[in-house]
Amino acid sequence: MTTPRTGLILVVSAPSGGGKSSLCQRLLNWSPNLIYSVSCTTRSPRGGEQNGRDYFFLTRSDFEAKITGGEFLEYAEYNGNYYGTPRSFVEEQLTAGKDVLLDVEVQGAGQLMKRIRTGRFAYPNSLVTIFLMPPSRELLETRLRRRGTDSEETICKRLALADCEMARWTEYDYVIVSGKLDDDFAQGKAIVIAEKCRAARLPKETKVWQQNEL
């Protein structure tokens, strides 16, 4: 009998406009074992976003009821809206040996790190955190403006938020300085492969070895 492995929680954080969605999509396309955790949010859907695929769009009162019910692994208020990771989905996937990808901002990532450090999570060896760092603030600003979707006020707000977020890179396990998508992806993939081979993550009673599922 092989001993089942529990999966990884792969957290990717980056300031808005930092290329995070593209990197996450590439990782998801690459690894059939990597599952995206769809978050809940109170913000309104943007063009093309679908409920249940991009987010679960909730009212503030529904979101707060879930907070009270302990239904989130982490949650944060960001830019005036709540965002949170449904706990049961992540736990089910980890138990099934799947790796779960979480696209969360720095406060939420910090909560997960703290939860694991203080022994308040059933999968203590699961967390791997990556911060995707823009190569410069100027480039981030250019990218935000190029999107052409936001007002000047929103861009200024996003840049101020980005400054706070970028100051917290030291809390993460890994930093990828974002460049070409292919290079970001190569580094993300290398991190996942190495993390899945870590001895510390294998069950100590392992006698019959199961291959790493990428």
Chain residues that interact with ligand 5GP, rule: CB under 6 A: 16, 39, 43, 74-76, 78, 83-85, 103-105, 107-108
Closest CB to ligand 5GP among 43 and 201? 43
Nearer to ligand 5GP, 85 or 187 (CB): 85
Residue nearest to ligand 5GP (CB): 108
The nearest distance, CB 46 to ligand 5GP, in angstroms, is: 8
Residue type present at position 71? E
Taking the complex as a whole, the smallest distance from the CB of residue 87 to ligand 5GP amounts, in Å, to: 11
Least distance to ligand 5GP, CB of residue 102, Å: 7
Q: Which is nearer to ligand 5GP, 78 or 185 (CB)?
A: 78
Q: For ligand 5GP, which is the closer residue by CB, 6 or 85?
A: 85
* Smaller CB separation from ligand 5GP, 84 or 134: 84
Contact 83, 108 (CB under 8 A): yes
Question: How far apart are CB 105 and ligand 5GP at their closest, in Å?
Answer: 4
